[in-house]
Amino acid sequence: MILKTFTRAGILATAVLVVASCGSDDAKKAEAEKAGSVASAGQTVTVATAALTAMPRIVTASGSVSAWEEVPVGAEVGGLVATAVYVDEGTYVRQGQPLVQLNDDLLQAQLRQQQAQVQTAEANAARDAAALGRAQELKEKGFLSQASLDTALANQRASTAGVASARAALSETQTRLAQATLRAPVAGLVISRSVTRGQIVQAGTEMFRMVRDGRLELDAQVPETELALVRPGQSATITSDQVGQATGRVRIVTPEVDATSRLGVARVALSGSGGFRPGMFAKAEIDVGAQPTITVPTASVLYRENRSGVFALGGDNRVRFTPVVVLSRSATQTSVTGIPAGTRVVVEGAGFLGDGDRVTVSGPAAATAPSAATSR
């Protein structure tokens, strides 16, 4: 009797343990299903829709500062010694200002000789003209033959030609004498000098190089993808780490694109030199005006592995990191390329996501709004 009682008690205890064990397994299964449901839902984020809007656009380019027009100044006469040099590098000269004086002693002597030759030729011409006049009077009275008259006429014509020849030789010497004083062909800044006092100068030797009117420009190299946006007359800001900023305008856009670098050149004329010098490196920010562009909220643009991009939301509520190129940005809106208009991008919570994550969208997608102010 006692054995039966113990047996029933053992069976009852075993049943209680089995029931408790089953209850524990059911609770764990429910908790696991709940956790899986939460994991499936993913992080809660907000999204916005990329929109096509017109925004102010700045094209950034860089290049070297160069002269608007470089003018080489050389000697027109040769074999003369430079007796005086009046200007040096960095001097701003006016048009016609003397730069170098060459030894003109020999030319002065030639000038005096040819002046005398002109006087002699003029005297001969006057004599022969008077002789011709007398010969014509005698011919009319019948006291002179036609042959003598023809001789007088030929002498008068020869002496007249002699005057013209002497005057031409004198004019040549006067021109060479004037060229012995080298003068500035234009107003501008002297940027190089290659002549010294006592140097024998040969014809065609470059002695100075000038920047016409002191005007400089930046040869800004623009990517071919943005070259069509740049037009003559657009304003620009030129910046150098050494001398600061200057303003300018696009003077011309060259029609050729380099086949290797895929860069075109926009020549930006500087409003003032402002300390800039030919050969310096500088950057230009060219205001090309409002342009239609894809805009997204600035908070949606992230940088992963040195690439800018956004998390684009797919139809299955999974996100994909999509690289984009940032064109311009403000505190609220960023202009990009790389995604089409209508793409839904994650805004709040984007920094905590990974590629392929499933998310829960909080609220309806909002369209991006254009912003008036942009920065590079």
Q: CA 244, CA 248: separation in Å to the nearest integer?
A: 13
Predicted local confidence at residue 315, as pLDDT:
84
Q: Which class does domain 43-55+292-367 fall in?
A: mainly beta
Predicted local confidence at residue 364, as pLDDT:
55
Both tokens of 312, joined, read 């684009």
Predicted local confidence at residue 144, as pLDDT:
86
DSSP 334-370: EEEESS-TT-EEE-TTGGG--TT-BEEE-S--EE---
Asked if residue 376 has pLDDT above 50, the reply is no
**What's the average model confidence in pLDDT over 228-248?**
92
Q: Which class does domain 60-68+212-290 fall in?
A: mainly beta
Predicted local confidence at residue 331, as pLDDT:
86
DSSP 285-310: EEEEEEEEEEEEEGGG-EEETTEEEE
Pick the CATH number of 104-179 from 2.30.29, 2.60.40, 1.10.287, 1.20.120: 1.10.287
Asked if residue 372 has pLDDT above 80, the reply is no
Predicted local confidence at residue 20, as pLDDT:
43
Strands (E), 16-104: 43-45, 47-49, 51-67, 70-74, 80-85, 92-93, 98-102
pTM: predicted TM-score of the whole model, two decimal places:
0.59
Predicted local confidence at residue 42, as pLDDT:
74
Cα radius of gyration rounded to whole Å, the chain: 46
Asked if residue 126 has pLDDT above 80, the reply is yes
Asked if residue 339 has pLDDT above 70, the reply is yes
Closest by Cα among 227, 304, 317 to 267:
227
Domain coordinates in residue numbering, the chain:
43-55+292-367, 60-68+212-290, 70-103+180-211, 104-179
- pLDDT tens-digit profile of 261-312? 999 999 999 987 778 988 999 999 999 988 888 999 999 999 988 899 999 9
CATH tag, 70-103+180-211: 2.40.50.100
Least confident of 97-101, 247-251, 280-284, 369-373: 369-373
**Per-residue H/E/C for 233-282:** CCEEEEEECCCEEEEEEEEEEEEEECCCCCEEEEEEEECCCCCCCCCCEE
Higher pLDDT, 284 or 16: 284
Predicted local confidence at residue 6, as pLDDT:
37
Both tokens of 217, joined, read 């420009």
**What's the average model confidence in pLDDT over 42-64?**
90
